Chains A and B, each alone.
Chain A
Amino acid sequence: MMEKVKSALLFFLVGLSLLLTYQLWYGEKPAQLVEEDIYERILVEEPRSLENVLTPGHIVLRAEEGSYIFKKGEAKYDSLWDTLSLILQQIRFDAAMEEEALPEDSVKVLAFYLDPVLPVGEELPWLPDAAYTEVSMIEVYSNESQKWLALAEAGSNNEIYLQLSSARAAVFSEMLEEVSLAGKTLYTVLSAEQQDQQLKSGLEISGNIYVPLEPVYMDELNLRAEDIDRSLILKTFFVDYNMARIIEEKDGGLIYTDGDKGLRLTSTGLEYSSPQKEEGQVTAAYPDALFNSSSLISYHGGWPESLRLEELNLSGWGRAVYYNAKWNMYYNGFPIFTRQPTRALFNDNGLIHYNRSIFVPGDFTPEDREQKPVAAWNDALDAAVYLLNEQAPESGNIMRLEELCLGYAVRDLSNGYRGQPVWRIKINGKAYILDAYQLEPIRGEDLL
């Protein structure tokens, strides 16, 4: 009898040891171990160096009959800018190089419109030997034998003239020879006289606005929302994402929040908010803010090739002061407009708000649709002025035209996401988006 009890006990103990070994090896970890295992190394995109953060809003190539415009996403835009940027990085600035005025026989060849402005001077990649300043436009002048750069300082009428060495001038000449103008549309600067002749209502014109002299052909663009690695993006916002809880919205959106900050992921982008960081200071200088903006967008989703930094300025509301950085996607030189632009607000505390809404060209439609000419710029402007008078008659006689350009508005149509060709016209701070063919207004909330 005793032996039977011993056998049973031995059998039980052997079974128990097997069970405990299995549980120890494969079973759930206790809570305290889970807590210790929260930090994880993640691989994200490297921030762009300062040299690659800024690019011109547009580059204007002067020709006898008018001007040709190069914008982000167009052939030769990058190489034109890279050539100038490299020259500015290589030039050892010397007061002796500075010229008081340009020779009378020099003509303007190129103009680089820099918005956001380009910081140059000490500890910066561009003109590192010069005193710090910010440049809003760089023009290239040429005569038969020489070339000069004219740097317009932001916020003043001051211009700096630099003569290029023959070697550097040759680099520019070679670059210009390579630029093909076949198929490019001719533009001209909108002048008050031209406007008076072609428009019924007078407008003040803010800065240089280029309008096409020839019909512009565009077609609807197939788009798709960029692919976001949700798991990775979550880890970039929450150091310990175990602490983040999930809220499933009725429209399919997902919100992650740890009670302190929140991240909403939708099928077309993301929104992030950290309200407790709002009341902070801003001590970063403009060049540092440029680099910070690059770090933020690279870390939180990456910086696609055709995405351009459009704005970087110091803003505020209430007691909050912050830098406001805004980016836009481009396709073939045309901006892609979304309802919420890709934007980051940040201060010394870190990222306060972040919106990311990036659409990239998708597969093209199988049938080769013909591109159609868009409505003329003056008709588009008339339509916008009509809308302004209808919606805000109190705006009175002073109307200031701030922007007039073509682009694509992102729409969610029955056949998928589409980039609809549009005119975007900004008057007195208010932007109007008009269908580029029919000039029908498109409401901001109808965009994706």
Chain B
Amino acid sequence: MNLGRAKSILIIAFAGLNLFLGYHLFWPDFGRMTRVAVTAEDLQATEVMLSENNYFLQTTLSRSVHVSDFLTVEPARSFQGEVLQEFIKKGAHVVESDNATAYRADNETAVVYSSGLIRVIYEPGVRLVEDAAGIEAHRLTELVDNFIEEEKLMPEGAVFDYMEKSDAGFINFNYYQVYQEMPIYAGQLKVILEAGEVNIIEIYWLNPVDRLPLREMKVISAAEALQNLVDRLGPSPVPRDIEAIKLGYFSGEYDAEKWEIPPVWRIELDGNDRHYINAFTGNIEQDTIIPEQLP
């Protein structure tokens, strides 16, 4: 046997060995790409379950297997500092109270709460349009976007989420935060418009500190999240449309140093009702489960 032939045999043997090792090492991840979390039968069964309870799926479900992890966040102090710096430049004077500090400028006040929430109050309100009802929604959103940018209140990674009209006649414009292409629903910016004037802007922005890849886990499927939501809400007396279901991060608002937030399935009903299902546990995420003092 010559050396060239021996090399060929060894190349074939090692190529086979590497295929074998690669299969064992990466198969679960390959499988994750090729397998589906929601089969056609699951999807059908989910639709039947929903319709029996008077819910109707008006969006497509993600059928692939997803993995996710906890995201460690802290209040975005640097952004808060930038906002307050602008107020100080405007000549604001500082008034401190128990859990908040107010920066009062001529016609606007920024109140910073210990949780990290910033509330900017305009007195009087800043007029954006004469008649908010007579203008198209996307045009109104553009005007609001521009206003926030001009006021230097738009944090990095803010994405417009939805607009809603309150019973009191206000129009709220909601933005969420995006980090590495995943929405962080816990980070929010809200603009409150009354009779065409911006009255209040609330910003609760988070600084993602760390993802925990060691705790990466498979999340429940979108179908399972829907099942859990219906189990919790019960049958609806009126038909309800499920308009969107999307994976993101969410938690309540904590007055804390830093915390981990879990992945959630956000389910939007009728365009105005949003529920957050913990994508690891399947529980509905509540505002906070911090232990309370006993009664």
Contacts and interface: CB of A to CB of B under 8 A. Distances in A.
A250 B255 contact: yes
A28 B214 contact: yes
Interface residues of A, number: 49
Contacts of A343: 294
Contact of A30 (B28, B256, B261): B28
Nearest to A276: B283
Interface in B250-285: 251, 254-262, 278, 280-281, 283-285
Nearest to A2: B4
Interface in B27-75: 28-29, 32, 67, 70
A222 interface: no
Interface string A267-285: 0000111010000000000
A272 B295 contact: no
Given A20-B25, A28-B214, A261 B295 contact: no
B280 A243 contact: yes
Contacts of A23: 25
A83 to B, nearest CB: 36
Interface string A237-273: 0000011011111100001011111111000000111
Interface in B226-259: 251, 254-259
B263 to A, nearest CB: 10
B215 A260 contact: no
Contacts of B278: 258-259
A191 interface: no
A260 B281 contact: yes
A350 to B, nearest CB: 15
A6 interface: yes
Given A17-B21, A31-B217, A245 B286 contact: no
A31 to B, nearest CB: 4
Contacts of B107: none
B289 A262 contact: yes
B290 interface: yes
A136 interface: no
Contact of B25 (A3, A24, A340, A355): A24
A5 to B, nearest CB: 10
A143 interface: no
A30 B25 CA distance: 9
Nearest to B215: A242
Interface stretch (B7-15, B130-138, B151-159, B172-180): B7-15
A20 B18 contact: yes
A295 B280 CA distance: 29
A245 B21 contact: no
A250 B257 contact: yes
A32 interface: yes
Contacts of A263: 291
B216 interface: yes
B293 interface: yes
Contacts of B17: 13, 17
B10 A245 contact: no
B169 interface: no
A27 interface: yes
A20 to B, nearest CB: 4
Given A20-B25, A353-B291, A247 B254 contact: yes
Given A3-B4, A35-B217, A258-B283, A245 B15 contact: no
B182 to A, nearest CB: 16
A248 B257 contact: yes
A258 B281 contact: yes
Contacts of A9: 11
B217 A245 contact: no
A3 B214 CA distance: 44
B18 A261 contact: no
Contact of B289 (A35, A242, A260): A260
B257 A245 contact: no
B294 A345 contact: yes
Contacts of A30: 28-29
| Residue from A16, A243, A247, A264 having most chain B Cβ neighbours under 10 A | A247
Interface in A277-301: none
Nearest to B216: A31
Contacts of A13: 10-11, 14-15, 17-18
A10 interface: yes
Contacts of B90: none
Interface in A202-259: 242-243, 245-250, 255, 257-259
Contact of A248 (B4, B29, B256): B256
A28 B212 CA distance: 13
Contacts of A24: 21, 24-25
Given A17-B21, A32-B28, A3 B256 contact: no
A98 to B, nearest CB: 43
A33 interface: yes
A34 interface: yes
A7 B8 CA distance: 9
Interface string A365-376: 000000000000
Contacts of B286: 259
A264 B11 CA distance: 59
B281 A245 contact: no
A30 B288 CA distance: 31
A355 B289 contact: no
A264 B255 contact: no
B292 interface: yes
B290 A257 contact: yes
A262 B4 contact: no
A21 interface: yes
A122 B71 CA distance: 56
Contacts of A3: 3-4, 7
A14 interface: yes
Nearest to B213: A28
| Residue from A9, A30, A258 having most chain B Cβ neighbours under 10 A | A30
B290 A34 contact: no
Contacts of A31: 28, 67, 216-218
A250 B256 contact: yes
Contact of A34 (B215, B281, B285, B292): B215
6 contacts: A35-B218, A245-B70, A245-B251, A258-B281, A260-B283, A264-B290
Interface of B: 3-4, 7-8, 10-11, 14-15, 17-18, 21-22, 24-25, 28-29, 32, 67, 70, 114, 213-218, 251, 254-262, 278, 280-281, 283-286, 288-295
Q: Which 8 A-B pairs have the closest CB atoms?
A: A13-B14, A247-B259, A245-B260, A20-B21, A273-B291, A262-B289, A271-B291, A30-B28
